[in-house]
Amino acid sequence: MKRIDWFKGDKKLAVAVVDFMRCFVWRSEINLKFKAEQEEIETGIAALEKLRGSCLEDNIPMMRTTFEARIAQLDKERKDQIKAEATYAPTEADKTLKKALADFAKGKAGKTAEDAIIDWFNAYNLDVDGSYLVPEILNAAGERGDVKKFVRTEGSCVTSFNGNNCYKMVFMKTYEAMVNAGTIKKQQVPPIMAEKYAPKAKKGNKKA
């Protein structure tokens, strides 16, 4: 397969990929922070049951309402912060790619997913036709369970091409390739994400 020379691409490609990944990481970090706070409130709600039979029992409904209002407020704050700080602003090439993949997923006449991806890279002056990357992106995108397709094919098919996930994989697989090629720096892992997802040491491996 043809090798990709990442150093020949337009610098705007690196800018787009880095910003997409910045939003991906920051959005994940925001979600984790708000989830932790929400779980604390939910623990407080569960603890209200311990007040039954006490002099504070009459206050349980009011306290529950206060807790639930805070959870709703947190959800709004989370969405507002993601919109303001962690939402990728697509370029015209990105918009064209996303539409082409969505149309392909819907079975509309037009470009194939492969052609749409190749054209997206061409917009950034990078030729990936015949390389390993396009099949890798398509394999990573996978399919999704599709109830509509199940109904419309009278039960003979139940999966369909996932256009939205394919759009994300274009950026994520490109990010991996560019990091490995040394054309961009890898994203730093935020401490809250490392604490949540890093492998935990097994109890039997603890040092004395």
Q: What is the pTM of this model?
A: 0.83
Got the DSSP string for 153-174? TTTS--EEE-HHHHHHHHHHHH
pLDDT given at position 108: 84
* Residue 2 DSSP class: B
Residue 204 is predicted with a pLDDT of 60
Give the DSSP per-residue string, 36-66: HHHHHHHHHHHHGGGGTTSTTGGGHHHHHHH
Residue ranges per structural domain of the chain:
12-85, 92-192
pLDDT at res. 144: 78
CA distance 57 to 51: 5
Return the closest-CA partner of residue 170 out of 95, 84, 109: 95
Strand partners, 86: none
Distance of alpha carbon 20 from alpha carbon 26, whole angstroms: 10
| Contacts of 199 by beta carbon, 8 Å cutoff, 6+ apart | none
Q: How far apart are CA 201 and CA 158, in angstroms?
A: 40
Q: Where are the alpha helices (DSSP H) in 86-199?
A: 92-105, 113-123, 133-141, 147-152, 163-181, 191-197
- Mean pLDDT (10-residue bins), the chain, 208 residues: 89 94 94 94 90 85 93 96 96 94 86 94 95 92 80 83 91 94 90 84 57
The CA distance from 125 to 21, in Å, is 21
